[in-house]
Structure 1
Amino acid sequence: MVKAVIGEETRLSSTEDRLSRSAIPAEVGLVIGKLSSAVDRGFVFDLIPTPNNDAGEPACSVMEAKDERKKSSRSKSQSSDASSLSIDSDWVAEHARQVSRMLLGGMKVVGVYVWASDSSFKNSTMMVCQAIKGVADAVQHLDSASDEALLIHICYSPRRWSCRSCLLGSSITSSNLRPCDLKMGRVLSSLQRFRCNYSFNLRFPICSVGESAAQTFTDILRQQLANHAKDLRSANALIDGNLVHNDAPCNTDGEHEVELLFPFMKDAHVEAFSGKDVAGVLLVSGSICSYAYLYAKEPVSQAVDDIKADIIRSLRSRLDIICDEAEEDLISPNDNSADKEDMPITKLVLCSSTKPFRLPLPRRVFVPWLSGTFICDYLQPSESLEVLKDRCIELKLMENPPESSTFSEVEAEAPLLISKSFWDAVSVSAASSAENLITERSGKETRHEGGENQKRSGKAPNIAIMVGALVLLLSVILGFVFYGWE
């Protein structure tokens, strides 16, 4: 467990000033930061308040005890001592899930903060622990599992800050809370930035109905992305052209380039297909721009781990976004009543779909945040940059987002997910011609590409055969000329 926590002085002071001016009795929000086991410290970058729920009600409020309301003889101070907090843990967890998707490597939702009086906070330990547990479970899907979280209490009566480290487990109680030192300092200005451009070309098998009666788009990708994450974590890395082989800190300033190196191994795609009745193949290809932020005293190996975690989080976030659009039950392969052409791709049972399709995944856009750092969001092909500004305001990440001209669109082309038949994917000759016959699915319309491109591609094999025949004929003639007279 971390024994000391350093918070960004400017952001924590700004939060305290805002809460003091608002005069609200209670507030709950997320702690954005990092817990580093390498230096045994925690870092707090910012505190993000949880917005009101869909009904317009705050996520945290003060609730007086029912028995105290009936006893008018008691003083106001005695009544306030019995008050407790009411926290909408599910809404706080959903807010954490949305915010976690927008954070980069080295930045996580590491806990919750509570603005409340000392008596209300003490009377609500179980409620606060439930909120911490909900937040930890919500972000676990995107971030690597952590065994602890932070709880920051901002008390206004009397005015003071306190921090506790919470051990995560199947259940969280007051016994899991341990006090730790909270100090103010310059954290954001000491962060070092690492960048990696990661290109990938992944193949995932689609089993026939006999192998899996309900193998959906979501099932395949989530399973195979988990397998790819294991391979990614085992990759070596170069930082600024130097192989990372020790745990020394990085002493140079500026942005550092990271390159991932995968070991030579037997073809994993063949292993994935072996022993299965494969009906088709899902191909995910593209390039991801990844960032990670490292505290000055942390080892460079931590930056590599954060880069890898950011890549995995980005892939999973894109999958979650397109899956969030499908709200109805998944279609059954034997259900002929529904029009499968009108169904979202995320709900198709792929082994029952014979037509190939191409799906552009949401593209990543970087938004300037605090002290030269970035956050990110993902845009669908039909969305504009103005949507990003609205999301930043809605999630309380910033009150006044910067202009769209300052956003960084590093992914000019969104990563593509393509479904093909098995033989079109593994046969070289078939794959080259099938690339121009992919059906693009956009809403209810499909568009077939082919025609002149297919005709031109068909000429290449004929020319190669003619050249080979001429070379063979020339070899026979030269052999007869030089050796035929003997």
Structure 2
Amino acid sequence: MGRTVYSPEYCLQYLEQYASKEIFVIGLILGQTTSARENVIHLARTPDEKSSESASETSYPLDKPESKTLDSVSEAWVADHAKHVTRMLPGGLFVQGIFITSDEDIFEDPNCFSKVKSIINNVYKAMSANQYMYGNCPYTNERLILHMSNSTKVLTCKSIEVGSGTKNTVIKPVEWKFLPKAQQWQRLDCYYEFDDVYPVVVKKSGISVKQQFQQILESAHKTIETSIMFIDGELKDNAEVLEQLFKKKKSKTSSKTSQQELPKSMNVSLFVPFENALPEAVEYLECDGSIHFSGVVSSSVFMFPKATVSETIASVKQDIIRSLASRFTMHCDALIDDNLLPEEKVCFNEPPRRVLVPVGSLYLCDYLFPGEAPAEALLSVRELLDLQITEADVVCDVETPADTSEFDALDRDASSEELLATPQEASQFMYITGICFAMFVLIVSIIIHYYDSIVEILSKILAKS
């Protein structure tokens, strides 16, 4: 049985929009692969690459695409676009391939197809560089290539395997079906709280913020992977289907809602098993400081209703780790000084917070730094997803800005320490005070012991005078 992909009808209109202008366009295919079905949610045009003189590597122009060909496309530029877009995808959604509108027949022309394979493999390698971004779909190594001819408007989709290392690439036909109605998605919301303290050990080579964040990410990944997920407060069988869970719940409550209607959202809770056994060997380190990592990650995952519980669990866990990895990368890229131990005794770092942006019938995400307005998200959506939305469409209340009151208190305490004596000064102060007190006791004791003699001597002195 051949591979079948389903997508909303507006994706066809999107392709025809560019093909009708008879211009070359390349972009990314975004979607979700489950055991039940493969769904495409959006097609995002890759922006034109600016020259190094006018823009940095990661700046995306907003101008209309200029006339170009497949040979002029930079593989690294498309891969960079894929990395930025992956940060905006909730868990369970991936870059599934690329689409092209052109005059050339990319499947018949050997040079064109060789270029397409190079682009696909470069995207795969770029996504593999950071395992915590979950850039590559774990369920399949095949990537989609969708082509629309500018002249005939004929649509062709095929798939090739990536990462195999074989020279002979197997090309498989793919049937692409457009859905006239909007696809239903099951939303799952989770709020995962972090409140951990990590030691900072500075070696000869030093340590940077990026290195320490990587250690935090590794620890968080291990913790979340071992956690147990509850859906609506209940532990579910991994083989069960999301849609079936709602039908069971509905039959118990005798709801009057339609059988086809899905709940707006399901609540997810992650519980970390308690490890009651101590390790055989405990390593003691002399720390130079500590990092208090605290906050709540908001996770909103959208799954195909016929997806299994095990696929849903994996998507929720992917979303939390991908979100952390995205924030840490963006935060480190924005730092002027990567030194972990600044001159100040207390340093406060606030990575960007998550906001939701609508794409069709579901939501993707973006990240805003402290002080940034929702309008900043509009720019990212337009540049990276080729979408036009309004500021009112951005959902900004899924995560609140960080509370800095505790940090302010710590900062005040740190500054007041300068007015206090150091431990060595304090011990010297106590030592000197002890000697003075002992001398005072000795003098009083002598006076009491020789009191009568002293009184007699004073009386004789006064009598003579």
SS in 2 for 1:190: coil
Distance of aligned partners of 1:311 and 1:413 in 2 relative to their CA distance in 1, 3 Å threshold: same
Mapped pair 1:259 → 2:238:
no
CA distance in 2, matches of 1:389, 1:320: 20
Mapped pair 1:46 → 2:42:
yes
CA distance in 2, matches of 1:60, 1:271: 64
1:321 deviates by 0.7
Letter in 1 for 2:32: K
Distance of aligned partners of 1:322 and 1:224 in 2 relative to their CA distance in 1, 3 Å threshold: same
SS in 2 for 1:189: coil
- Higher strand proportion, which one? 1
Mapped pair 1:438 → 2:410:
yes
Mapped pair 1:348 → 2:330:
no
SS in 2 for 1:360: coil
1:177 deviates by 3.4
1:83-98 correspondence to structure 2 within 5 Å: 85-98=71-84
Distance of aligned partners of 1:22 and 1:385 in 2 relative to their CA distance in 1, 3 Å threshold: same
1:27-46 correspondence to structure 2 within 5 Å: 27-36=25-34, 38-39=35-36, 41-46=37-42
CA distance in 2, matches of 1:215, 1:266: 32
1:393 deviates by 1.4
1:163 deviates by 2.1
Aligned counterpart for 1:154 among listed residues 148, 154, 172: 148
CA distance in 1, matches of 2:383, 2:9: 22
Unaligned runs of 5+ in 2: 52-60, 247-261, 417-465
CA distance in 2, matches of 1:380, 1:267: 41
CA distance in 2, matches of 1:158, 1:17: 11
1:88-167 correspondence to structure 2 within 5 Å: 88-121=74-107, 122=109, 123-140=111-128, 141=130, 142-143=133-134, 145-146=136-137, 147-167=141-161
Unaligned runs of 5+ in 1: 64-83, 327-342, 419-433, 440-446, 452-486
Distance of aligned partners of 1:188 and 1:219 in 2 relative to their CA distance in 1, 3 Å threshold: farther
1:99 deviates by 1.2
The equivalent residue for 1:277 is 286
Q: Deviations over 1:15-68 (max 9, x none)?
A: 1221233221x21100010122x23x42211111011122369989655xxxxx
Distance of aligned partners of 1:16 and 1:172 in 2 relative to their CA distance in 1, 3 Å threshold: farther
Aligned counterpart for 2:368 among listed residues 356, 372, 379: 379
Letter in 1 for 2:402: A
Q: Deviations over 1:360-391 (max 9, x none)?
A: 221111122212x1111111112111111122
Kept in 2, the 8 Å contact 1:113–1:151? The answer is yes
CA distance in 1, matches of 2:325, 2:403: 13
Letter in 2 for 1:227: S
Q: Which range moves more in the overlay, 97-106 or 158-167?
A: 158-167
Q: Deviations over 1:335-382 (max 9, x none)?
A: xxxxxxxx52xx1044x86722111221111122212x1111111112
> TM-score, structure 1 length as denominator?
0.70
The equivalent residue for 2:448 is none
1:187 deviates by 7.9
Q: CA RMSD in A?
A: 3.1
Kept in 2, the 8 Å contact 1:365–1:408? The answer is yes
The equivalent residue for 1:391 is 380
> TM-score, structure 2 length as denominator?
0.73
Runs of 4+ in 1 over 4 A off after TM superposition: 56-63, 170-174, 270-273, 434-437, 447-451
Distance of aligned partners of 1:308 and 1:150 in 2 relative to their CA distance in 1, 3 Å threshold: same
Kept in 2, the 8 Å contact 1:163–1:179? The answer is yes
Distance of aligned partners of 1:153 and 1:202 in 2 relative to their CA distance in 1, 3 Å threshold: farther
Kept in 1, the 8 Å contact 2:28–2:45? The answer is yes
CA distance in 1, matches of 2:286, 2:343: 15
1:171 deviates by 4.6
Aligned counterpart for 1:414 among listed residues 402, 414, 425: 402
SS in 1 for 2:96: strand
Mapped pair 1:214 → 2:233:
no
Letter in 1 for 2:238: N
Percent of pairs identical after alignment? 26
Distance of aligned partners of 1:222 and 1:415 in 2 relative to their CA distance in 1, 3 Å threshold: farther
Q: Deviations over 1:273-313 (max 9, x none)?
A: 83433222222110111011111221122112111101001
SS in 2 for 1:200: strand
Distance of aligned partners of 1:301 and 1:119 in 2 relative to their CA distance in 1, 3 Å threshold: closer
CA distance in 2, matches of 1:435, 1:9: 47
**Which one has more relative contact order, counting CA pairs under 8 Å at least 6 apart?**
2
1:183 deviates by 2.1
- The structure with the larger Rg is 2
Distance of aligned partners of 1:172 and 1:402 in 2 relative to their CA distance in 1, 3 Å threshold: farther
CA distance in 2, matches of 1:317, 1:386: 20
| Number of matched pairs | 380
Mapped pair 1:313 → 2:303:
no
CA distance in 2, matches of 1:360, 1:234: 27
Aligned counterpart for 2:333 among listed residues 324, 331, 343: 324
